[in-house]
Structure 1
Amino acid sequence: MFRNSCLRRVAIVLVAFTALPAGVSWACMVPDTAPIDQFDGDRMTGFDAARTRGLGEALLSDSAGDRSIVSALFAAGETPISTLPDGDYRCRTIKLGGLLPLTAYGFFDCAVSDNGATIEKRTGSQRFKGQLVASDGGLFYWGALHYGDEQPMAYGAEAERNQVGCLVRVSGKPVRYRLELPFPRFESTHDVIELVPAR
């Protein structure tokens, strides 16, 4: 019985990987000017692996609604961008894999400022703030996690809080963006932040 259960799970995983949305091979390069450490450089080197594994785990979720959120963010492909407009955004975190196959949170408040150079999640229990710079048709991100009762932290202030990733515009309408964080330190395999202009 145990063997049959294992074989069935392997089969489900294989089916899930063959069902991954098309057009998910993109990842931005780390600019030479980005002051990230070796650990985070390695995370970026493994970007595609984190995404593929995270999506494969997410497809095993029992929640059809959450799976449809993920599909909508990846299936349409990406539109190249060189900057993100300043302003207020609604943002939500989708955790792929890890402790649970898939967790999609509600929307919170994010903002982009400094002519597209700074991004910040301003509400919710887990927040972040970091920098964006153009790279390969997307935006490279480096920043740090902080909690709701803390002030924002700078990248490098505490290694466990460091974040790196890539941001791209999702093709089609409505206008929305996808920030992906490979191999986060806590909970998940791959994090995706969906951003939608608040206006």
Structure 2
Amino acid sequence: MRNIPTRRFAALLLAAVLMPVVSTLACQVPDAAPITPFDGDRMTGFEAARSRGLAEALLSDNAADRALVSTLFALGETPISQMPDGNYRCRTIKLGGLLPLTTYTQFACTVSNDGARIEKLTGSQRFSGNLLPSDGGGLFYWGTLHYGDEAPMNYRADPERSQVGCVYKVDGKPVRYRLELPFPRFESTHDVIELVPTR
């Protein structure tokens, strides 16, 4: 049997213990969301992407980044049917993949159209897409990645840029939301976007 480094084994064991209680909410794809079969498969693997990404993130040497991930997941979630319109501070956290854990600085996001539209407005990598209530208690998201020197793209315009995921309201204070994107096309296993309303 191949030896597993002690630290990695401990992280994977902890992840195996914690994963069943990370979330009691399951986000389902609404019938009205016109997503591709490939993106449907990504959503089918949502829990696997999250579990694997969190297990990989526990291997990070950065205690502050690990604490941020813990804050976003450990307290649980509240079912929501809509995010309030307004401006948000948002940052991307990449779980697993090329590196165990990567946390980016905060940028500007916005929610509009009575909670039906979400956009990341600043930074070199941006996104825009749609939100719909899900039977599982979260908000289903489908949208597209674009870069800072490009205009926002419509979903299906470039399959390599497509995104799907779920938004959850994180329990506790301050008010924050968590957009999770399973199996991104590039770099990571599971992406998490932290969204905090601005005052």
Classify the TM-score, shorter chain: over 0.9
Q: Residues 25 and 48 of structure 1 are in contact (CA less than 8 Å); yes or no, is this contact kept in structure 2?
A: no
Q: Residues 20 and 55 of structure 1 are in contact (CA less than 8 Å); yes or no, is this contact kept in structure 2?
A: no
Q: Residues 94 and 104 of structure 1 are in contact (CA less than 8 Å); yes or no, is this contact kept in structure 2?
A: yes
Q: Residues 78 and 170 of structure 1 are in contact (CA less than 8 Å); yes or no, is this contact kept in structure 2?
A: yes
Aligned to 2:82: 83
Aligned to 1:14: 12
Distance in 2 (CA, whole Å) between partners of 1:196 and 1:72 is 13
Q: Given residue 186 of structure 2, which amino acid in structure 1 is its aligned partner?
A: F
Question: CA-atom RMSD, angstroms?
Answer: 1.6
Does residue 157 in structure 1 map to residue 157 in structure 2?
A: yes
1:108-147 aligned at under 5 Å gives the runs 108-136=107-135, 137-147=137-147
1:96-107 aligned at under 5 Å gives the runs 96-107=95-106
Q: Residues 8 and 59 of structure 2 are in contact (CA less than 8 Å); yes or no, is this contact kept in structure 1?
A: no
User: 3-state SS of the aligned residue for 1:156?
Assistant: coil
Once the two structures are superposed, residues 59-110 of structure 1 have per-residue CA deviations (whole angstroms, 9 ceiling, x without a partner) of 0000000000000000010001110100000000000000000001110000
The runs of 5 or more residues in structure 2 that have no matched partner are none
Calculate the TM-score normalised by the size of structure 1: 0.94
Q: Residues 47 and 182 of structure 1 are in contact (CA less than 8 Å); yes or no, is this contact kept in structure 2?
A: yes
Calculate the TM-score normalised by the size of structure 2: 0.94
Distance in 2 (CA, whole Å) between partners of 1:72 and 1:43 is 25
Distance in 2 (CA, whole Å) between partners of 1:167 and 1:74 is 12
Does residue 54 in structure 1 map to residue 53 in structure 2?
A: yes
- Size of the aligned set, in residue pairs, is 197
Distance in 1 (CA, whole Å) between partners of 2:74 and 2:47 is 16
Distance in 1 (CA, whole Å) between partners of 2:41 and 2:150 is 28
Does residue 188 in structure 1 map to residue 188 in structure 2?
A: yes
How much identity, in percent, do the aligned residues show?
70
Cα deviation, residue 10, structure 1: 5.7
